[in-house]
Chain A
């Protein structure tokens, strides 16, 4: 039977993860297809998953009263999207919309949270890996706030 394990094993996010952990994570993973224009997740909704984008482009949007939906970032093939499932109240802070047709691997956050609580080594691995992603996004956001290309 084909599983998602080989795909996950090849992704940098899961690089050098112990085999038993990889098998365990595979048990929480599912393939998904999203049509162009559909939502991967919506701001305020329950954050039950995170996603690895296999193909396509997602816009991360926030609703600004009076201005409508504002795109703050796009994420593409290979990117990992979503960490709201890690922290209470487990609600999405942004909306993810498919700009193109999407193929993603969805990982069940609730399932993973329970496994991380049971095995803190796994939990630590997850937090380390997500910290990298969160750090990258934080740095990028700080630089965007600096308005580097503006007139100084």
Chain B
């Protein structure tokens, strides 16, 4: 699969180390349809290619949005791109959050750090079809107030009467007036019916392990929890084997997995 040429329409820093790129196809066509939770392979020409979750609105066919942290060679090079620069895009790839299959359910979205990025398309979808869901709760944890992703959008979502948004940080600064503590601490007080709830979880793997434990403790069935995993994805089509996770390939069988499928694997050192 060859990369298609995309032009950067806008580049912005969301936090000190995390940035978003808004892209559109250079040929003026619509972007390929994607489902919330899927990812693309983004290619900085002459540097390399990395998988990045799509973080934009799945209903928008003109703009592809990706958010990532500048930590490696490719993502650092990507962070230097400006409006008008070009990059290659392959995708979309992978499995999606089951947003259609969970109509009628309460939805609890638990995100940690940059894990909010792959969940944002699910939020867009759910908010666009709000009548199809029960209670919707977003629990978000970040390292500090300065690391809170999509802060303005969180404020907008929080203003909705039919959405409960809770944000917590691990470390408080003087100016922070919100919750301090792990995102897992929010699970116990979040307003949802555990017996009729589906949880979508994304963040660092340790955070997801403790979050899923918290959800199960609250009474959410293992079968109703979905997690998004991250591994060293290279080909994105299940051929190279870099992202093998037990019997699955994260690029092809994931990144979104039913928690029941990966629960045992997540605590195995040898995987």
Contact = CB atoms under 8 A, between A and B. Distances in A.
Contacts of B114: 149
B118 interface: no
A146 B170 CA distance: 10
A143 B182 contact: yes
Contacts of A74: 168, 178-181
Contacts of B152: none
Contact of B170 (A68, A78, A139, A149): A149
Interface in B205-245: 206-207, 210
B143 A149 contact: yes
Interface string B9-30: 0000000010000000000000
Interface in B193-212: 203-204, 206-207, 210
Contacts of A78: 188-189
- A57, A71, A72, A140: residue with the most chain B Cβ atoms closer than 10 Å: A71
Contacts of A99: 177
- A140, A144, A148, A149: residue with the most chain B Cβ atoms closer than 10 Å: A149
B154 to A, nearest CB: 15
A114 interface: no
A31 interface: no
A140 B113 contact: no
Given A139-B210, A149-B204, A144 B170 contact: yes
B189 A140 contact: no
A14 B184 CA distance: 22
Interface in B139-168: 141-143, 147, 168
B205 to A, nearest CB: 9
Given A76-B179, A143-B182, A148 B204 contact: yes
B206 A147 contact: no
Chain B interface extent, by class:
20 to 34
Contacts of A59: 172, 180
A140 B206 contact: no
Contacts of A68: 174
B172 A70 contact: yes
Contact of B189 (A77, A144, A146, A151): A77
A73 B184 CA distance: 13
A150 interface: yes
Given A70-B172, A139-B210, A147 B143 contact: yes
- B114, B180, B203: residue with the most chain A Cβ atoms closer than 10 Å: B180
A94 to B, nearest CB: 12
B185 A149 contact: no
A131 B168 CA distance: 24
A151 B71 contact: yes
B266 to A, nearest CB: 15
B14 to A, nearest CB: 13
B185 A146 contact: no
Given A76-B189, A140-B185, A148 B206 contact: yes
A12 B225 CA distance: 24
Contact of A149 (B141, B176, B177, B179): B141
B112 A151 contact: no
A56 to B, nearest CB: 13
A77 B188 CA distance: 11
Contacts of A146: 206
A78 B186 CA distance: 12
Contacts of B206: 143, 146, 148
Given A73-B180, A143-B206, A151-B69, 10 more contacts: A70-B172, A72-B180, A140-B181, A140-B184, A140-B185, A144-B170, A149-B114, A149-B143, A149-B203, A149-B207
16 contacts: A71-B176, A73-B180, A73-B181, A74-B180, A140-B184, A140-B185, A143-B182, A143-B206, A143-B207, A144-B182, A147-B143, A148-B113, A148-B203, A149-B170, A149-B204, A149-B207
